[in-house]
């Protein structure tokens, strides 16, 4: 019999009398024959996720040029079938599936570049800490930005490490989408999956889903009190 055309929804297919019986009746082998909404009769042919229909006859791979984490809200994220940037992968983070740089790559001007920074410092093990005092060379900055924790030098709450040749600097939050974001806590695994990492946000911040990413935040309408960084205040 005649092969059935592809549509984005059941209503369009039904109005054009293009309903299918099974997958083999769809005009493109990539399309599948799926049921319509509840209380509707008949099935219709639709392209799989990551593909868009072209001329009601072909399923074409969607190539996304957006690269997360995005700094602004996008009105329509669309579907991610492939990424325009090299070394990027479609990954679902929070509520959206967008392009993320693979592990060991980082976003730079909407491209994924090999991470050139040295790896994070590996702290001594528990035995080393007990034998030595690694905080002996700590240099306190303005407002005591360096504090000693378990014989190690760390930045005080509300401050962040930047370079080894200066003291810790005050953390600068970004006001994005009516939420104060204190850094992204989404991580891409070696299996190209996007995950939120528990414990990656200093208290009282928590890792929460925000559109295409997970961010460290006090929550909507709240901010980190720089006079008392252990508390979140209301705006």
Residue 45, both tokens:
């042919």
Q: b vs e for 27-61, b when ≥16 Cβ sit within 10 Å of the residue's Cβ?
A: bbeebbbeebeeeeeebbbbbeebbebeebeebee
pLDDT at 42 over 90: yes
Among 13-22, 39-48, 153-162, name the one with the lowest average pLDDT.
153-162
Residue of higher predicted confidence among 166 and 203: 203
The pLDDT value recorded for residue 166 is 65
> 217 has which bridge partners?
206
Q: Label the pairing between strands 51-54 and 43-46.
A: unpaired
Q: Which residue has the higher pLDDT, 19 or 219?
A: 19
Q: What is the DSSP letter of 15?
A: H
- The pLDDT of residue 39 is above 70: yes
pLDDT computed for residue 163 by the predictor: 65
**DSSP symbols for 57-107:** TEEEE-EE--BSSPSS--S-----SEESSTTEEEEEETTEEEEEEPTTEEE
* pTM exceeding 0.85: no
pLDDT at 48: 93
Q: Which of 192, 233, 199, 195 is nearest to 216 (CA)?
A: 199
* pLDDT of 144 strictly over 80: no
pLDDT at residue 59 tops 90 = yes
Window from 80-94, 185-199, 217-231 with minimum mean pLDDT: 217-231
Provide mean pLDDT across the span 174-183: 62
Cα 96 versus chain centre, distance: 8
Give CA–CA dist 36/223, Å, rounded.
45
Residue 1 clears pLDDT 80, i.e. is over it? no
pLDDT for 125 equals 67
Rg (CA), the chain: 25
Cα 97 from chain centroid (whole Å): 9
Burial of 214 (0-12, 13-18, 19+ CB in 10 A): buried
């Amino acid at each position: 019999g005649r092969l059935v055309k592809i549509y984005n929804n059941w209503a369009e297919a039904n109005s054009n009398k293009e309903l299918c019986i099974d997958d083999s009746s769809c005009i493109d082998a990539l399309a599948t024959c799926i049921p319509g909404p509840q209380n509707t009769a008949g099935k219709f042919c639709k392209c799989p996720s990551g593909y868009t229909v072209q001329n009601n006859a072909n399923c074409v791979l969607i190539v996304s040029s957006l690269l997360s984490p995005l700094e602004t809200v996008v009105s329509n994220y669309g579907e991610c079938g492939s990424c325009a940037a090299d070394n990027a992968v479609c990954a679902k983070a929070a509520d959206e599936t967008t392009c993320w740089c693979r592990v060991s790559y980082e976003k730079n001007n909407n491209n994924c570049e090999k991470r050139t920074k040295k790896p994070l410092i590996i702290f001594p093990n528990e035995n080393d800490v007990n034998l030595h005092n690694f905080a002996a060379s700590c240099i306190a900055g303005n407002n005591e930005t360096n504090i000693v924790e378990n014989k190690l030098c760390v930045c005080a709450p509300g401050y962040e490490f930047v370079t080894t040749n200066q003291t810790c600097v005050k953390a600068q939050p970004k006001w994005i989408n009516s939420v104060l974001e204190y850094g992204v806590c989404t991580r891409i695994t070696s299996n190209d999956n996007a995950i939120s990492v528990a414990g990656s946000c200093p208290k009282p911040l928590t890792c929460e889903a925000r559109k295409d990413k997970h961010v460290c935040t006090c929550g909507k309408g709240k901010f980190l009190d720089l006079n008392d960084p252990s508390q979140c205040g209301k705006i």
